[in-house]
Amino acid sequence: MEPGAGPFRSGWRSLHNNIFQRRTNLVVKHNLLFCRIIHNFEHFCLNDVHMKNSLFTLMAFALLFACTPEQNNPSGTEDSEGGKDKTVHVTDIHLDRLSATIKEGESIMLIATVMPENADNKSVSWSCSSNTVATVDANGKVTGIKAGTATITARCESASANCTITVTTGAQVGIYPTSSDPMYAWSLGGEDKISVVSAGNWTLSCDAPWLTISQTSGIGTNDNVVISTVPNKQDDDRTAIIRFESNEGSQEFSITQHCSIFRTTFLKTRKLSHVFKVYYTSDVRLSKLIVILPYAETDQYQTIRESQYGNATLATSSEGVKYLYYTGTNKFPVSGSNVVKHDFTVDFQLLETDFGKITQRNLPYDTEQAWYKRYTGKSTEADGSQMIDPTHSWVVSNANSLWDKSGGDVIEYARLCYEFVAESFTYGTYDGDNSVNAIIGRMSGDCGNQHAIWLSLMRAKGVPARPIVMYSPDDFTHVRAEFCVAGYGWIPVDVTYHQGGGDYFGRFTDDNLVVMNHEFAFKANTGSDNFNIGLLQVVAWWYWLYGSGTVDGDISLTYADMETVDWGICGTMQSPQWNVQFPIPMAKEGDWWVARNLKVSSSDEFKFVHNNSWKVNFGGQANSFDSPVSLWQDGPNICPGYNGNIDVYLNVDTATAYYLQAGSTFTH
């Protein structure tokens, strides 16, 4: 955190919840760390710094196997009495292709898939935007009439899907885009398909070093040629020309990639170790152990390198989430040893958005892309609750009002939603129900809760938005969010940091929090088992055992170059403030831990921490110089109210502290 930014941190911490099933002498325990997370919470504010660590709250929720979609996402809608409407309504419709090119007189069949599979009404209606270009019958058969472009739309209830049809004559050959928002034009770089139309041999060429073509020659029409670009770090847009050559003619196809809208500044490099250990008593015989860790990737906020994860397996979920998993049967690590250890190096960087460089603020999204649908729809947690719900009546009502106020400008709308949530909701942590409905009911929530509301508002207007899930070595977690501007990329926001002071719209400022993924929930496969995983910031693990002993686990994310401090002082006098990874060390002198010549101002506050962690921290009410300060776990910050240098004394056995002017004689 940059000095003076006023960190306001919180998050969700994965804990384990034990559910027992006995079959003769076999005990199956599921340590489900994808349950609703009530966390180790640190709350900081510049002018009114206070801190509290909520007790880890566990909500019993266990699955031995992955739930079916019906279990996690019940079909039907709530009726006016709060019960279930037996009608299963259509939620979405997909076409087997987003675009196609046909000649005059040719026909193709479009196949529509209605979701969910058990919807009562699967009757699909078809229409064409221009019947002079193409026609479509009641079964989805499209016929080319005249050269041009038309949009075929399939509808079922309130859901719809489109396919762009390009009709050509025999002589109309060349290159055609297949997306209204091609990813290769984004400033962050990306890839997307183009369609090459030809009856014979053709070649493609391009001199731009930042652009690659998956196939540079072929025979006949090909709708699957992929164009890839690297990020544009220049201050201006750049253009590449792709040359198409064939016996039927030639064409030059222009691609313009938007300029970078982000300013980045390198902050710090750290070597990190993410370690999970298992402990079990001698009367335990494990029969199976599964561990899942999040896997941090390089993105616009950080660079990950030198990644090593030993006996773990790297996998990718259908949602695109990367994770590490370990599966053991019958043979396990010795109690207290590492089960999974992921070592990696991370380069942290400050990111700021230059909104003035966004010259085209409302470019169209390609609404048929899978990523667009994922980040504009509902998000269901592993416990079945709606963590993001753009259809909630309160969300829709406020989204309509804010959208009208923005004049339909995506960026202005995002900022209005950001200000609205920060001003309307108070910060708090709550047990049990943390669905959108519950958060709105109490108008309060933690960082994940408040960003879920912001994400719901964004998605209600078809603006793709997703969470930024993070974890840091001082053992706290945090959730931010980001929204997508077509053609440019993902812009970060932090509503709860904004509540603590400062503007975090389009700014990502942290040299400590590691971005782990961008999902509130995903499906994980570990080779032989499938699991519905909730917010994965720390770890998820399960075990099966014989016997009546106990099994426990320990997770840590530590700096490889961090020296462990037994007892230290953490507070606002540090830079960055409240830096628990590198506290001010205290030396043992008899019964006392001592820190001498500590420079403070009248507004500075501090606490005592153990082993570079907030898990054990002492605070208390300050009195005056050379007066005892009674301490207790999670007590208030100590404020000497003095400008100058002080000596600080801590007695852990009596939970007492003193502070004196530096150099004064200590007589206690």
Q: What is the pLDDT of residue 562?
A: 58
Verify that 234 and 198 share a domain, yes or no. Answer: yes
Residue 395: which H helix or E strand, with range?
helix 393-406
Residue 125 placed within a domain: yes
Q: What is the pLDDT of residue 85?
A: 53
Q: What is the pLDDT of residue 170?
A: 58
Verify that 371 and 484 share a domain, yes or no. Answer: yes
Residues 524-541 have pLDDT tens digits of: 999 888 998 888 888 999
Contacts of 594 (CB under 8 A, 6+ apart): 586, 587, 588, 647, 648, 649, 650
Query: The domain spanning residue 606 has which CATH number?
Result: 2.60.40.3620
Taking each helix axis as running N to C, give the angle between helix 447-460 and helix 410-424, from 0 to 180 degrees, rounded to the nearest 10.
Answer: 140
Query: The domain spanning residue 503 has which CATH number?
Result: 3.10.620.30
Other CB atoms within 10 Å distance of the CB of residue 242: 22
Verify that 388 and 499 share a domain, yes or no. Answer: yes
pTM of the predicted structure, to 2 decimals: 0.64
Distance CA 93, CA 319 (A): 18
Distance CA 307, CA 343 (A): 6
| Nearest by Cα to 448 from 375, 395, 379, 529 | 379
Residue 536 placed within a domain: no
| Nearest by Cα to 246 from 199, 308, 278 | 199
Verify that 390 and 489 share a domain, yes or no. Answer: yes
HSE-CB for 267 with a 13 A CA cutoff: 23
Q: What is the pLDDT of residue 36?
A: 26
Distance CA 530, CA 290 (A): 11
- Residue 471 is part of which domain span? 366-516
Residue 457 placed within a domain: yes
Verify that 587 and 634 share a domain, yes or no. Answer: yes
| Nearest by Cα to 88 from 124, 125, 116 | 116
Residue 486 placed within a domain: yes
Query: What six digits make up the tokens of 625?
Result: 């110089």
Verify that 371 and 431 share a domain, yes or no. Answer: yes
Distance CA 450, CA 268 (A): 29
Residue 414 placed within a domain: yes
What value does the mean pLDDT of the chain take? Answer: 82
Residues with pLDDT less than 70, the chain: 1-85, 169-172, 381-385, 560-564
Verify that 412 and 506 share a domain, yes or no. Answer: yes
Residue 230 placed within a domain: yes
- Burial label for 657, CB within 10 Å (0-12, 13-18, 19+), is buried
Residue ranges of E strands in 402-517: 426-427, 444-445, 465-471, 477-485, 489-493, 507-508, 514-517
Query: The domain spanning residue 129 has which CATH number?
Result: 2.60.40.1080
Query: What six digits make up the tokens of 83?
Result: 């019960």
Residues 239-275 have pLDDT tens digits of: 999 999 998 888 898 999 999 899 888 888 888 999 9
Verify that 512 and 625 share a domain, yes or no. Answer: no
Residue 599 placed within a domain: yes
Q: Which amino acid makes up residue 107?
A: S
**Contact yes or no for 25/546 (Cβ under 8 A):** yes
Distance CA 646, CA 662 (A): 4
Q: Among residues 516, 534, 550, which one ends one of the domains?
A: 516
Q: What is the pLDDT of residue 134?
A: 93
Residue 224 placed within a domain: yes
Other CB atoms within 10 Å distance of the CB of residue 592: 19
Residue ranges of E strands in 522-643: 522-525, 530-533, 540-546, 551-559, 567-571, 584-585, 587-589, 592-600, 606-610, 613-619, 629-630, 632-633
* Domains of the chain: total: 4
Verify that 488 and 385 share a domain, yes or no. Answer: yes
Verify that 426 and 467 share a domain, yes or no. Answer: yes
Verify that 445 and 496 share a domain, yes or no. Answer: yes
Q: Among residues 495, 516, 537, which one ends one of the domains?
A: 516
Taking each helix axis as running N to C, give the angle between helix 393-406 and helix 447-460, from 0 to 180 degrees, rounded to the nearest 10.
Answer: 70
Verify that 144 and 218 share a domain, yes or no. Answer: no
